[in-house]
């Protein structure tokens, strides 16, 4: 990694610096005082990994996550340049009183009145910053835990989910291998939440949000075995033993399966970039049979499928490929507030369509049904949720009049239908007349909203094409009104 070329400068005059130093510290220049200061990653990790390499800053264009450095937040304890780059951590230190003014000006030193549980000893030699390993007054902890390795992660080439990590904000994390390598991790790019850590070894160099991943100092981690992970918090240092977690060798290879028709058939399978000694074990899923050239299947339903290839020797990482089996059929219809099996289709056919719903459009507004921001307009049973809301507001506006388009993965045409408010049948009641024995007939017609629990929505559909129409019962309502008038005249 390249060296950090600049640090954040905190402008402060000497008088201001001395004003934050406890009175007892001003007696002798070599008296020790405590506080916190901004420590660049390179200096923070230098003694921890025995100067193995200089740890660079982290640049990120992902919203403002890089600035979430308050206690308890995503990158708690870090400091940044105000423009998307995390430069290091703000950590407790022990310094010489004579260095206080310079450290305040250059590194934002702020004195405290008490000795911290864990700190780094910091001195200045001219312009050079000397930072020690963490001094843990409670004694470093060594505990047993566990970890799971994934080579299929959106955040690099390797991800470890560690169990047994200490509580509190993380100021540093070091991955330790069986052969003695130590890999220092940085916030946001490598250190995440809940014991999750990740890094690139040079194969996947861009993460899911588009940020470029640094990989040069992690490239030789491929093929290594992780035995422990060290966590640095304000309470001290805890090393979690995770057994032996092998990091399979990754490579720029692909497995591709072509999209094909659902039902019974086969699709082609192709491998590119695999090492010559890769011992392929192909898993295409239950009900599928695979060779190195094709995948065959029987009675397969529409949807997305995955083929996974693993190395029989265990040396290399697994590789997966995805493909889609499609159908022009639409096995659902809208009825009484939910999607049910259309004529000629089974309940399983309908359930498969429902579980593959990828987007729903209502009156021209499209809502994704998948991912972190997905909106669940239909539940697992196909029942519509008239209270569904996305980030920009409610899916349904309350009018009761909706044009709905449902898109599902594996189905080449969407299912289109309409929901209309339905006027109930007129209710005829008799009430005593005010001045005679005659009765007066009152006709009441009530209109229900589409989301009402007593509402029945009118919808027609065409299961095979996905085009639906709605027939308004105007003639029936007209006849009902005429009957009511005739009834009244008869009684008059």
Largest Cα separation within the chain, whole Å, is: 114
In terms of Cα–Cα distance, which of 355, 478, 488 is closest to 410? 355
Mean predicted confidence (pLDDT) in 396-411? 96
Q: Do domains 141-246 and 254-326 have the same CATH topology?
A: yes
The Cα-based distances of 267 to 76, 142, 301, 347 in angstroms read 50, 52, 14, 27
pTM of the model: 0.76
Residue 199 CB: number of other CB atoms within 10 A? 24
> What are the respective helix, strand and coil percentages of the chain, to the nearest 5?
15, 40, 45
Mean predicted confidence (pLDDT) in 262-277? 97
pLDDT at residue 52, rounded to an integer: 63
pLDDT at residue 61, rounded to an integer: 63
Condensed to tens digits (0 to 9), the pLDDT of residues 211-252 reads 888 999 999 999 999 999 999 999 999 999 999 999 999 999
Eight-class DSSP state of 461:
-
Q: What percent of the chain has pLDDT over 70?
A: 78
Mean predicted confidence (pLDDT) in 53-69? 81
Residue by residue, DSSP assigns 43-73 as: HHHHTTTTTSSPPPPEE--STTGGG--STTS
- Architecture, CATH, for domain 14-136: 2-Layer Sandwich (3.30)
Condensed to tens digits (0 to 9), the pLDDT of residues 285-333 reads 999 999 999 999 999 999 999 999 999 999 999 999 999 999 999 999 9
Mean predicted confidence (pLDDT) in 125-130? 90
pLDDT of 492 strictly over 80: no
- Architecture, CATH, for domain 141-246: Sandwich (2.60)
Q: Is 295 exposed, middle or buried (0-12, 13-18, 19+ CB in 10 A)?
A: buried
Query: What is the band of 360 on the pLDDT scale with cuts at 50, 70, 90?
Result: very high
Report the chain's C-alpha Rg in angstroms: 34
What is d(CA 290, CA 303) in angstroms, rounded to the nearest whole number? Answer: 18
Eight-class DSSP state of 289:
E
What is d(CA 157, CA 206) in angstroms, rounded to the nearest whole number? Answer: 10
Residue 220: phi and psi, rounded to 5, are -85, 10
Q: What angle do CA 127, 129, 131 make, to 5 degrees?
A: 170
pLDDT at residue 21, rounded to an integer: 41
Average confidence score pLDDT of the chain = 83
Helix (H) / strand (E) element for 366: namely strand 365-368
Helix (H) / strand (E) element for 80: namely strand 78-80
**Between 1.10.150.120, 2.60.40.10, 3.40.50.1950, 3.40.50.150, what CATH number should domain 254-326 receive?**
2.60.40.10
Condensed to tens digits (0 to 9), the pLDDT of residues 1-47 reads 433 333 333 333 333 333 444 433 333 456 999 999 999 999 999 99
pLDDT at residue 423, rounded to an integer: 61
Which residue matches tokens 């991790």?
185
Condensed to tens digits (0 to 9), the pLDDT of residues 421-456 reads 866 555 554 444 443 333 333 333 334 444 433 333
Q: What angle do CA 302, 303, 304 make, to 5 degrees?
A: 145
Which residue matches tokens 């708690």?
76
Helix (H) / strand (E) element for 483: namely helix 474-491
Helix (H) / strand (E) element for 407: namely strand 402-408
pLDDT at residue 469, rounded to an integer: 38
The residue extents of the domains of the chain are 14-136, 141-246, 254-326, 332-419, 427-458+470-491
């Amino acid at each position: 990694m390249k060296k950090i070329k600049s640090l954040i400068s905190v402008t402060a005059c000497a008088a201001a610096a001395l004003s934050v130093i406890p009175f007892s510290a001003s007696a002798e220049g070599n008296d020790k005082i405590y506080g916190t200061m901004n420590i660049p990653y390179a200096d923070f990790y230098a003694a921890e990994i025995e100067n193995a390499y200089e740890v660079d800053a982290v640049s990120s264009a992902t919203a403002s996550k890089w600035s979430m450095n308050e206690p308890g937040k995503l990158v708690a304890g870090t400091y940044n340049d105000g423009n998307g780059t995390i430069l290091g951590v703000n950590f407790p230190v022990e310094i010489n009183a004579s260095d206080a003014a310079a450290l305040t000006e250059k590194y934002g030193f702020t004195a405290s009145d008490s000795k911290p549980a864990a700190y780094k000893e910091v001195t200045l030699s001219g312009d050079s910053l000397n930072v020690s390993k963490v001094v843990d007054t409670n004694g470093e902890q060594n505990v047993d835990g566990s970890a799971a390795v994934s080579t299929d992660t959106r955040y690099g080439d390797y991800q470890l989910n560690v169990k047994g990590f200490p509580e509190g904000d993380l100021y540093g994390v070091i991955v330790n291998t069986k052969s003695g390598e130590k890999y220092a991790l940085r916030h946001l790019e490598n250190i995440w939440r809940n014991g999750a850590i990740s890094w690139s070894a040079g194969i996947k160099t861009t993460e899911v949000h588009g940020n470029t991943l640094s990989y040069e100092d992690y490239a030789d981690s491929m093929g290594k075995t992780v035995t422990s992970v060290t966590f640095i918090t304000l309470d001290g240092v805890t090393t979690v033993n995770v057994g032996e977690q092998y990091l399979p060798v990754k490579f720029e290879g692909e497995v591709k399966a072509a999209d094909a028709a659902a039902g019974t058939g086969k699709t082609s399978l192709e491998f590119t970039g695999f090492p010559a000694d890769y011992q392929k074990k192909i898993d295409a899923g239950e009900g599928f049979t695979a060779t190195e050239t094709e995948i065959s299947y029987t009675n397969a339903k529409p949807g997305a499928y995955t083929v996974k290839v693993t190395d029989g020797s265990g040396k290399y990482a697994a590789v997966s490929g995805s493909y889609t089996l499609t159908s022009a059929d639409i096995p659902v219809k809208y009825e009484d507030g939910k999607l049910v099996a259309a004529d000629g289709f089974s309940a399983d056919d309908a359930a498969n369509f429902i579980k593959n719903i990828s987007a729903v459009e209502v009156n021209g507004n499209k809502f994704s049904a998948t991912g972190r921001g997905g909106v669940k307009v239909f539940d697992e049973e196909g029942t519509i949720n008239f209270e569904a809301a996305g980030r920009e507001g409610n899916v349904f506006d309350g009018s009761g009049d909706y044009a709905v388009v449902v898109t599902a993965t594996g189905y080449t045409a969407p299912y289109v239908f309409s929901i209309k408010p339905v006027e109930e049948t007129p209710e005829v009641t008799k009430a005593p007349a005010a001045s005679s024995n005659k009765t007066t007939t009152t006709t009441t017609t009530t209109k229900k909203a589409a989301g009402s629990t007593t509402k029945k929505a009118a919808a027609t559909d065409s299961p095979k094409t996905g085009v639906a129409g709605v027939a308004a019962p105007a003639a029936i309502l007209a006849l009902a009104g005429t009957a009511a008038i005739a009834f009244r005249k008869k009684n008059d």
